[in-house]
């Protein structure tokens, strides 16, 4: 069965078998990448970590209200593939699962696929979030089945749409499992991040640091409490910056203000909502660059001149629920676009940014209260979504 609904062109169908699709642009569509939730009064009083099913899915947003719940069971027997899936239990109330933002550059259709099983009705829609007044495509409701079933939807962005939200919810009492969600647009490729192993050097590399060896004291300034520690599994050692920790080198030969890519693994040693500004990589001063988390938990990437911003890409409050976990952060820039990625997800961007012709002389690496690893800065844009 196939239906065409409304002016936004939402075409949906249920398929019993998998259909070949373009590359999935969702970096955690199978929900295998998770992190602990923020502590609650109950977990603190019990002096024990949260249950595995209460972990949060990286890159996704979810919530429930009026008695409904959303869980992430760690059980291969309940998942479609792997260990994890998302479970809605809503005998009453409402549960939601969302992914945003997804960038739109033209009116090529998007294809969304997912696997689900259970009882009740699953609802899928696309939300145009270009303006504050979000526009919703007609909702398609699927009758769930006891066996895993693949559901497919196509959505054509309306004129003027620049970013959209994938929204999954339900209608009426529903108990279901959702897994292996994909969003694809013809010609678009997923980012190659997070990397599966240590990065290498090539002709476009300006700076590559894996921290397995001590930093050259003639090339780097090191102050405060800075020490090597165990890094990401398979990545060797990392560098931890403690109180007053400061690591810097020359920016002149290690970063091109007109074009480049920064890639780095980082781990905050305190929750992301700690009210402290923590740059991951930065160039301090009035002619500067900043990539990091600010005191309001916003995660951003920007260039400035005379202390005033020239260009910036920021996701408001994105680090508010972060717990101490390894994350991969990347930023790419040139005259066409400035883009910011976290854990392989494009979280913010700006087209046609204003860029500096020169920056301050100091490139600062990390900041107190974090661990960094496998840092690479390049003179080229290594990846771009949508342009």
In this prediction, residue 188 has a pLDDT band, given cuts at 50, 70 and 90, of confident
Higher pLDDT, 302 or 13: 302
| Whether the predicted pLDDT of 226 surpasses 70 | yes
Residue 315: domain span: 205-378
Cα–Cα dist 91/93, whole Å: 7
pLDDT digits (tens, 9 = 90+) for 118-127: 999 999 999 9
User: 1 pLDDT exceeds 60?
Assistant: no
The CA-based angle 322-240-366, given to 5 degrees, is: 70
**What value does the mean pLDDT take over residues 153-168?**
93
Region of 165 (left: φ > 0; alpha: ψ -120 to 50; beta: rest) is beta
Q: What is the 3-state secondary structure (H, E, C) of 296-353?
A: CCCEEEEEEECCEEEEEEEECCCCCCCCCCEEEEEEEECCCEEEEEECCEEEEEEECC
Question: CA nearest 27: which of 176, 192, 268, 144?
Answer: 192
In a domain, 341, yes or no: yes
Instruction: Supply the CATH number for residue 138's domain.
Output: 2.60.120.260
The lowest-confidence range among 13-27, 106-120, 262-276 is 13-27
Answer yes or no: is 194 within a domain: no
**Residue 11: pLDDT above 60?**
no
| Confidence at 261, pLDDT banded by 50, 70, 90 | very high
pLDDT tens track for 134-151? 999 888 899 999 999 999
Q: How many folded domains does the chain comprise?
A: 2
Tell me, yes or no, whether 218 and 356 share the same domain: yes
Q: For residue 50, how many other CB atoms are within 10 A of its CB?
A: 17
Kindly list the distances between the CA atom of residue 173 and the CA atoms of 145, 170, 203, 216, in Å, as whole numbers in the listed order.
Answer: 14, 8, 57, 62
Within its chain, how far is the Cα of 173 from the centroid? 31
Residues 142 and 252 reside in one and the same domain: no
- Each residue of 28-77: pLDDT tens digit? 999 999 999 888 777 777 777 788 999 999 999 999 999 999 999 999 99
Query: Percent of the chain scored above 70 by pLDDT?
Result: 94
Sign of CA dihedral 369, 373, 378, 380: negative
Residue 16 has pLDDT above 50, yes or no: no
User: Are 17 and 79 within one domain?
Assistant: yes
Are 179 and 252 found together in one domain? no
Q: Is residue 128 part of a domain?
A: yes
Confirm whether 195 is domain-assigned: no
Tokens of 189: 């490729």
| Cα Rg of the chain (Å, integer) | 22
Quick count: other Cβ atoms within 10 Å of Cβ 372?
A: 23
């Amino acid at each position: 069965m196939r239906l065409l609904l409304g002016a936004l062109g939402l075409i949906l169908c249920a398929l019993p078998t998998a259909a070949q699709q373009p590359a999935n642009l969702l970096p955690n569509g199978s929900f295998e990448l998770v992190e602990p939730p923020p502590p609650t009064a109950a977990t603190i009083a019990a002096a024990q970590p949260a249950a595995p099913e209460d972990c949060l899915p990286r890159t996704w947003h979810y919530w429930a209200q009026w008695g409904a719940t959303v869980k992430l069971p760690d059980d291969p027997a309940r998942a479609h593939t792997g260990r994890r899936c998302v479970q809605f239990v809503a005998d009453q109330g409402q549960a939601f699962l969302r992914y945003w933002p997804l960038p739109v550059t033209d009116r090529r259709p998007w294809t969304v696929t997912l696997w689900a099983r259970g009882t009740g009705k699953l609802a899928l829609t696309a939300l145009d979030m270009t303006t504050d007044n979000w526009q919703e495509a007609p909702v398609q409701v699927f009758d769930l089945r006891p066996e895993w079933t693949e559901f497919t939807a196509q959505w054509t962005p309306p004129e003027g749409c620049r970013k959209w939200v994938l929204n999954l919810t339900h209608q009426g009492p529903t108990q279901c499992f959702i897994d292996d969600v994909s969003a694809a647009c013809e010609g678009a490729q997923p980012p190659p991040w997070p990397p599966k192993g240590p990065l290498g050097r090539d002709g476009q590399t300006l700076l590559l640091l894996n921290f397995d060896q001590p930093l050259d004291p003639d090339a780097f300034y090191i102050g405060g409490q800075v020490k090597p520690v165990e890094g990401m599994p398979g990545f060797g050692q990392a560098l931890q910056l403690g109180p007053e920790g400061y690591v810097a080198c020359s920016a002149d030969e290690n970063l091109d203000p007109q074009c480049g890519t920064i890639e780095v693994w980082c781990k905050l040693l305190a929750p992301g909502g700690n009210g402290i500004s923590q740059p991951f990589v930065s160039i301090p001063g009035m002619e500067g660059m900043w990539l990091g988390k600010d005191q309001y938990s916003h995660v951003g990437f920007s260039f400035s001149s005379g202390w005033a911003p020239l260009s910036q890409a920021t996701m408001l409050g994105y680090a508010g629920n972060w717990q101490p976990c390894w994350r991969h952060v990347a930023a790419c820039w040139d005259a066409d676009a400035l883009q910011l990625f976290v854990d392989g997800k494009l979280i913010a961007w700006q087209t046609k940014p204003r860029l500096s012709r020169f920056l301050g002389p100091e490139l600062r690496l990390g900041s107190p209260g974090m661990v960094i690893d496998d840092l690479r800065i390049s003179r080229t844009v290594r990846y771009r979504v949508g342009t």
